[in-house]
Amino acid sequence: MIIYDDFITDLDLLDKISNDKDFWTPGYQWYDGWWNDPVQNLRHDLIKQIWGDMSPHRGIDALGFEHWVGEFSEESEYFEMLGNEWSLKLHFDKDEEYWQKNKKVIGPKIGTVFYPCREVDEVEGGMLYYWDQYDDTKLTEEGFITEPTQQPEIIRPKFNRLIIFDASKLHGVSRVLKGNRRAIAINLWDQKPLEFSNGY
């Protein structure tokens, strides 16, 4: 896991993102990358800033980017798992359609979480929990998550913080107790997930 604080230097871009309704529209989207498809919106702009030529974390070739946003508050639904409460329950990022058909995890090359909104500094809870040694081979035969033996890395949300990690390993977000936690997740893939492979 790599953490960059104060990552984006163009703070005007972050202010635009905070107030842009299209940016915060729920749902998974795919971007073929600026080398194939010109930047068309703020999400594309942010992806290019994170992974483009000016990025301090280069060298990861990818076919494209899966991206989506998450917003959790103290009023959001939460889940109880393994003796804890979660706004985003424990999971592996994977090709969901492939999983449904084959019960096999095919994960992205790398995952990204970014916090573009200043209000996130006021959040209580909403921590990212991450187990870098827990992959799908540790699931039960029925596909259930078992109690990890390893202690997790726990990272609090922070304005303009970028987290880069292996999203195919177990992770989740603890319950938000106060405030509004908004983030964007960006996964880099070397093959399109099935959801996007039919001309999305």
Which range (21-30, 69-78, 101-110, 183-192) has the least confidence?
101-110
Q: What are residue 186's DSSP bridge partners?
A: 67, 112
Query: Comparing 142 with 166, which gets the higher pLDDT?
Result: 166
Kindly tell me if the per-residue pLDDT of 89 is higher than 50: yes
pLDDT for 146-160, tens place per residue? 888 889 999 999 999
| Percent of the chain's residues with pLDDT above 90 | 70
Distance between CA atoms of 146 and 125, rounded to whole angstroms? 23
Q: Quick one: CA dihedral 89, 163, 185, 31, positive or negative?
A: negative
Distance between CA atoms of 111 and 172, rounded to whole angstroms? 13
Q: How many domains does the chain have?
A: 1
Arithmetic mean of pLDDT over the chain: 91
Tokens representing 136 are 């799908």
- The answer to whether residue 140 is domain-embedded is yes
Give the predicted TM-score (pTM) of the model. 0.92
- The answer to whether residue 199 is domain-embedded is no
Three-state helix/strand/coil letters over the chain: CEEECCCCCCHHHHHHHHCCCCCCCCCCEEECCCCCCCCCCHHHHHHHHHHCCCCCCCCCCCCEEEEEEEEEECCCCCEEECCEEEEEEEECCCCHHHHHHHCCCCCCCEEEEEECCHHHHHCEECCEEECCCCCHHHCCCCCCCCCCCCCCEEECCCCCEEEEECCCCCEEEECEEECEEEEEEEEEECCCCHHHCCCC
Q: Which of the four pLDDT bands, split at 50, 70 and 90, describes residue 144?
A: confident
Tokens representing 115 are 């916090």
pLDDT score, position 183: 98
Tokens representing 153 are 């890395």
- The answer to whether residue 196 is domain-embedded is no
Q: Which of the four pLDDT bands, split at 50, 70 and 90, describes residue 200?
A: very low
Looking at residue 129, which CATH number applies to its domain? 2.60.120.10
- The answer to whether residue 109 is domain-embedded is yes
- The answer to whether residue 105 is domain-embedded is yes
- The answer to whether residue 197 is domain-embedded is no
Domain encompassing residue 49 = 2-57+64-191
